[in-house]
Amino acid sequence: MALPKFAFFRGRRVPYSEARVGVLTHGLNYGTGVFSGIRGYWNDAEGELFVFRPEDHFRRFLESGKMLGMELPLGAKELTDALLDLLRAEEFHEDCYARSLAFYADETVGVRLHDLTPEVSIVALPYGRYIDNEEGAHATVSSWRRVDDNAIPARGKIVGSYVNSALAKSEAMRAGFDEAIVLNADGHIAEGSAANFFMVRNGAVVTPPITDNILEGITRRTVIELFANELDTTVVERTIDRSELYVAEEAFFVGTGVQIAAITRVDHSPIGTGRIGPVATAIREVYFEVVRGQRPKYRRWCAPVYGAAAVRKAPGPRDKRGRIAAAGR
C-alpha cells in the first residue's frame, strides 16, 4: 500500500513523513483515541470527487471524543474543510478513504482520561473494496462478544475497542470466512467486525437497535432513510436472536468500508437462496448512485472536493490557545 503524500497534523497540512508521534504517546499505549473512516467517490461523468456525509462522520467523531473527555479545537465544519483541502492536495481522481484520528498526544505514563491534550490527524488513501466478495460474503458467528457499553462506549468509534473487532475479524478470516458476526454480551446479534447488520425476515427489513451495543453507523442511518424514501420500506429496529440467522431470507452488512455487502452463507449454511437477494440488490443500487452524487435529492450528503468547494480554505495554524487562527477559516 502506497503511503499518503500529506497529512493534516497539528492544525495544518504537512508532508506525511512529518506526521509522527513518539512511542510514549498516550493514545498509542492505552488506546485513548477516537477515529473515523470516510469514503470519497469519484464521479467520472462530472470529473468530481464526492466525499460522503463528512460532517455527519465528524459529528460522531466529536461525540466519540466527548465520551473520552476530549475537547477538540475544531468543529465538524472545520474538520470537513481540512479533509477537502487534504484530498485536493493528494489530487485523487479515484475512490478513496480518509482516516481521521483524535488521540491523547501526551508522552507520559499513567492510565487516565484527565489532564491530557488531544491532537487530530487526517490522512487519505486510494481505496476500493473492503470485502472481496461484496455480493456473497460467507460469515461466521464469532466466539468473541461485542464490547459492552459499560466496558467501553459501544456507540462511539473508540480506538481501544478495535482490539475487539480485530480479534473477531482475524478469527473469522483465519478460519476461511470473509467476515464475523459478533454477538453482544446478551447473545444477540450486534454487528460485523466493522459494519452494521441488517436482515430480511418474513418480508421485514430488520436491524438491531443502537442500545444493543452497536456502533452508531452513518451508513446504517443512511440505509434506513433510503429504505423509507426510495423503497417504501420501514426498517424495524429490534433485538435479533442468533437463530434468526438460519431462517432469514437475506442478510447484509452496511458500513463505510464494507458499503453494502450481502451475507449469503453463515457457518456453511445458506441464507435464503444462498445468493444475493432482491432487497440487498435494490438497496445496493440506490446506495451506490447516492454516494456517487447521481441522485440530486441526496447531493446534500456529497461534498465536492474540486468543484464549488475549491474556494473553501483549510483551517490555518493554531493560535497560542490552540484555536484555529481566524484568517485560515
Residues near ligand PMP, by CB under 6 A: 37, 157, 165, 191, 194-196, 215, 217-220, 255-257
Q: How far apart are CA 175 and CA 254, in angstroms?
A: 22
Cα–Cα distances (Å) from 116 to 10, 26, 109, 138, 322, in that order, read 15, 9, 11, 43, 14
DSSP 140: E
Smallest gap from residue 65 Cβ to ligand PMP (A): 15
Looking at the Cβ atoms of 46 and 216, the one nearer to ligand PMP is 216
**Backbone angles phi and psi of 63, in degrees to 5:** -65, -40
Looking at the Cβ atoms of 44 and 132, the one nearer to ligand PMP is 132
Smallest gap from residue 280 Cβ to ligand PMP (A): 16
* Beta carbons within 8 Å of 228's beta carbon, 6+ residues apart: 234, 235
Q: Helix/strand/coil (H, E, C) string of 108-139? A: CCCCCCCCCCEEEEEEEEECCCCCCCCCCEEE
Smallest gap from residue 44 Cβ to ligand PMP (A): 24
Smallest gap from residue 211 Cβ to ligand PMP (A): 15
CB 227 within 8 A of CB 205: yes
Task: Report the candidate in 50, 257, 284, 87 with the shortest Cα–Cα distance to residue 157.
Answer: 257
Looking at the Cβ atoms of 126 and 257, the one nearer to ligand PMP is 257
DSSP for 231-283?
A: S--PPEE---BGGGGGT-SEEEEEETTTEEEEEEEETTEESTTSS--HHHHHH
Looking at the Cβ atoms of 242 and 329, the one nearer to ligand PMP is 242
Looking at the Cβ atoms of 88 and 146, the one nearer to ligand PMP is 146
The C-alpha cell that represents 309 in the structure block? 468547494
Smallest gap from residue 105 Cβ to ligand PMP (A): 23
Looking at the Cβ atoms of 257 and 316, the one nearer to ligand PMP is 257
The C-alpha cell that represents 225 in the structure block? 432513510
**Backbone angles phi and psi of 316, in degrees to 5:** -85, -170
82-119 burial string, b = 16+ CB within 10 Å, else e?
Answer: bbbbbbbebebeebbbbbbbbbbbbeeeeeeeeebebb
Smallest gap from residue 254 Cβ to ligand PMP (A): 6
* Residues β-bridged to residue 94: none
Cite the active site residues.
157
Looking at the Cβ atoms of 149 and 191, the one nearer to ligand PMP is 191
Q: How many CB atoms lie within 10 A of CB 66?
A: 14
Smallest gap from residue 325 Cβ to ligand PMP (A): 31
